[in-house]
Amino acid sequence: MPKEGILKKREVDKMTNLENYVQAFCETLEVSEEQLTGLKYQDVPLWDSVGHMNLIARLEEVFDIMMDTDDIIDFSSFEKGKEILGNNYDVVF
Amino acid sequence: MERRLLDGKNIVVTGTARGMGRVMLETFAKNGANVWALARIETQEHLKKCEEISQEYGVEVMPLYAELSDPDAIKTVVNEIRKTKMPVDGLVNNAGITYNALFQMTKMEDLREQFEINFFAPYLLTQYISKMMIRNKKGSIVNISSTAAIDGNSGKSAYGASKAAIIIMTKCISEELANMGVRSNAICPGVTDTDMLSTLPDYIMDIQKEASFLKKIGKPVDIANMAMFLLSDQSSYVTGQVIRVDGGMTSYNKR
């Protein structure tokens, strides 16, 4: 039972992280959730270079991380961002 | 109680162990700012000074130590700042090293060292800190350059070039960060009475005084006061500027 409890908690954390990630995109770039799959840098007007920095700043705050410049440059899509946060900053989705 | 110019602001200052940085630390604290006081090496003297200033002016002074030529050390310090969860309102890139050598006598390793400390380190630190400012949609970055970066003097090709680089950085980021509420300006001190100057012979000092309209050498507090203005809301419409604080020395040279 305790094991199951822990697993359930992790599931909740994963949900929260994904929700936070989605929310950061939607609010910063003013897009709907439906637009996120496959969304790439400069696909929408607000994801320009300025929007990118706003998005990074928001994600750093949400996940309490400090991203390296290489990762900020590589952060080229909704999916790539998840990969970077997962692989380099231990954010579990 | 009288309102002070930097009341409630949280400022990061590099190079606070001595010289201009030390005076900036005291000036900002005196005017109500909480200060992260960066220095290269932890010493009892610096720790004590931070504590005294904190007590005297009723603000937080948080000493932090980093070898600025080490990018990992810069990252560690920024993490320490992040952990406080306090918004960063201002950054003063003050730490720097000077170097005098004729162009043909300048070793490449010395040139690289100038750029490591005077340009690469503030560049990286500003990258990190400006992201924290972007989150809050406000901030003021003040870079300490030099009149040597504008005028070009014999023996200053390495130092002047590194300080000129930071002027361009200042101007570029002032445009890039403007619509995120972050301002960026540079101060170019002229000859200023710090430890760096103490090695100069008296006759050189006399020449420098004569070259200034105000007929005197600048004091560190003159630079600190300009930095304080640029950090304050009084300068909210000032960005991308390079401001000489040199007692009118340029004007003299142009006559």
Q: Which domain holds residue B144?
A: 10-254
pLDDT tens for chain B, 255 residues: list them. 567 999 999 999 999 999 999 999 999 999 999 999 999 999 999 999 999 999 999 999 999 999 999 999 999 999 999 999 999 999 999 999 999 899 999 999 999 999 999 999 999 999 999 999 999 999 999 999 999 999 988 899 999 999 999 999 999 999 999 999 999 999 999 989 887 777 677 887 888 888 889 999 999 999 999 999 999 999 999 999 999 999 998 765 555
Asked if A85 and A57 count as a contact pair (C-beta separation under 8 A), the reply is no
Q: Give a yes or no: residue B1 inside a domain.
A: no
Q: What angle do CA B174, B64, A53 make, to 5 degrees?
A: 30
Instruction: Note whether B134 contacts A66, CB cutoff 8 Å.
Output: no
Give me the catalytic one of B123, B159, B203, B237.
Answer: B159
Q: How many beta carbons lie within 10 A of that of residue B202, not counting itself?
A: 7
Q: Does B128 touch chain A (CB under 8 A)?
A: yes
Instruction: Note whether A53 contacts B180, CB cutoff 8 Å.
Output: yes
Q: Does B180 touch chain A (CB under 8 A)?
A: yes
**Chain B residues whose beta carbon lies within 8 Å of the beta carbon of residue A58:** 135
- Tell me if residue B128 is catalytic: no
CA distance B215 to B213: 5
Q: What is the number of structural domains in chain B?
A: 1
φ/ψ of residue B220, rounded to 5: -55, -35
Residue B81 sits in a domain whose CATH number is 3.40.50.720
User: What ipTM was predicted for this assembly?
Assistant: 0.76
Diameter of chain B by CA atoms? 58
Q: Give a yes or no: residue B92 inside a domain.
A: yes
**Which of B73, B70, B159, B149 lies closest to B110, judged by CA?**
B159
Q: Give a yes or no: residue B3 inside a domain.
A: no
Asked if B101 and B155 count as a contact pair (C-beta separation under 8 A), the reply is yes
Q: How far is A11 from chain B (nearest CA, A)?
A: 27
Q: How far is A74 from chain B (nearest CA, A)?
A: 16
Among chain B residues, CA nearest to A69: B127
Asked if A63 and A23 count as a contact pair (C-beta separation under 8 A), the reply is no
CA distance A59 to A80: 14
> A2-87, what's its fold?
1.10.1200
According to DSSP, residue B194 is labeled: S
According to DSSP, residue B184 is labeled: E
Q: Which of A56, A61, A66 has the CB atom closest to B79's CB atom?
A: A66
